[in-house]
Amino acid sequence: MKRKALWAVFGLTVVALVITVARADFRRGHGWCGNGWHHGGPLGHVGRELKLSDAQLSQVRSIWIEERPMITALLKDLTSGAHQLANASVGGKFDEGKVQAIVVTEGNTFAKLLLEKERFKSRVYTTVLNEEQRHSADKLQQRWLDRMDHAVARLDRGNQ
């Protein structure tokens, strides 16, 4: 009797596990691992959305490799400024002049980083994408902006 009960529990456990895996695998098409970067990262997502060929993905990667040193240097500057800012306000002390100088430098670095991002997007848009993909890229950009507007509107409603 105990043996039958043990097999029944084992069987139910296996069935529950199979159902869990099947639901996770089909849920919104993200698979067992969820909606993570393991599916090719941001380039994989954009590549799927714009239906980029392998040759086009290779072109985008080569443009990225060219831009990477500049972006890496800017990110190092941004990180350095974040450390300076943290050190300037450690222990609750606040020297507005010192913090203001760090924040201005951080803002300039961030502006340069945004400029590099737009330069990269422009190069990809003009040299890699065909007309249909450009149209899809414009729609993707608009979707992103709409999502940002929606998020800001939700925050605004929360403030009222």
* Confidence check: pLDDT of 130 > 90: yes
* Confidence check: pLDDT of 48 > 60: yes
- Domain ranges in the chain are 1-32, 39-159
Q: What are the φ/ψ torsions at residue 13 (nearest 5 degrees)?
A: -65, -45
Closest of 61, 76, 75, 81 to residue 124, by C-alpha: 61
> Which top CATH class is 39-159?
mainly alpha
Percent of the chain with pLDDT strictly greater than 70? 81
pLDDT bracket for residue 72 (50, 70, 90): very high
Classified as helix, coil or strand, 111 is helix
pLDDT bracket for residue 160 (50, 70, 90): confident
CA 60 centroid distance within chain? 17
Helix pair angle (96-127, 54-88), 10° resolution: 180
CA 13 centroid distance within chain? 37
Alpha helices, DSSP H, located in the chain: 2-26, 41-50, 54-88, 96-127, 131-159
Q: Which of 1-5, 26-30, 36-40, 117-121 has maximum average pLDDT?
A: 117-121
Residue 37 is predicted with a pLDDT of 47
